[in-house]
Amino acid sequence: MAIFVTLFAATEGELDRIFPGWPKPPEAPTLVRVDDPDTGEERTEKRWVPEGEVSASLLLADPQSAAEVMAPVLEPESEYERHMEERAPRVLRTLPHACLKHLFGRHLDALASLLLGRPIEARPARVTPDGFPIDRLAQEGMVALSRMSPTDLPQLAERWARGPAKGFEGQADALWALRRVHALAVLCTGTVQRSLCLWIES
């Protein structure tokens, strides 16, 4: 089953408005023991568990109070893409955004690692009390991507698709996603500082 995601560009103030009460993560993740959903065996996993007690509602802000919806950063090319756009939370579509599928935080970290030439594990934008993140593309990686020419994206997409973050259906699928990440990265590095964040449909 397809897992739809919304990649969106937001300032710190916009994150506070859209995720009211969601805590910021600690400076470093914590190792916790979890049951692997595939094997049932216990394994160790990094979680960005916030300090202290969190009592706020971990829901998105009321979508009816949101501003006017924006068009996605690149226009949908098919009915399926329009379907993804319609499913995305309305409040996130009031910001610069792109709707994709099967893109996760590990893909953003892998992309930043390729761009910067070293392993990257970006600190999330916000977290839930048990440490599940609103992931984002590392700021340095976002700046590096924004400076790339669109003509260089196919080569980067090929390396991204072959990387450790599995999930792409070949280079064409990775390039389709990368063009949208690139377009948003260009918007994020303007005069207003924004983070490029990821919402995964639950």
**What residues make up the domain containing 61?**
4-200
Residue 45 has pLDDT above 80, yes or no: no
Cα–Cα distance, 122 to 139 (Å, whole number):
8
Q: What's the pLDDT at 61? A: 67
The answer to whether residues 24 and 50 touch, using CB atoms and an 8 Å cutoff, is yes
- Percent of the chain past pLDDT 90, that is, above it, reads 56
The residue-averaged pLDDT of 73-78 equals 92
Domain count, the chain: 1
Mean pLDDT of 65-91: 88
**Rounded to whole angstroms, what are the CA distances from 10 to 69, 155, 181, 191, 192?**
14, 28, 14, 13, 10
The pLDDT of residue 117: 96
Q: Per-residue DSSP letters for 168-200? A: -SSHHHHHHHHHHHHHHHHHHTSSS--EEEEEE
pLDDT at position 112, please? 97
CB-facing half-sphere around the CA of 128: CA atoms within 13 A: 8
Give the range among 54-68, 95-109, 161-175 with minimum mean pLDDT: 54-68
pLDDT band of residue 128 (cuts 50, 70, 90) is: confident
The reported pLDDT for the residue numbered 35 is 77
Model confidence at 138: pLDDT above 60:
yes
Give CA–CA dist 116/110, Å, rounded.
10
Distance between CA atoms of residues 197 and 125, nearest Å: 7
Helix (H, G, I), strand (E, B) or coil at 97: strand
Beta bridge partners, 193, equal: none
Q: Are 8 and 96 in contact (CB under 8 A)?
A: yes
Note the pLDDT of residue 192: 81
pTM: 0.87
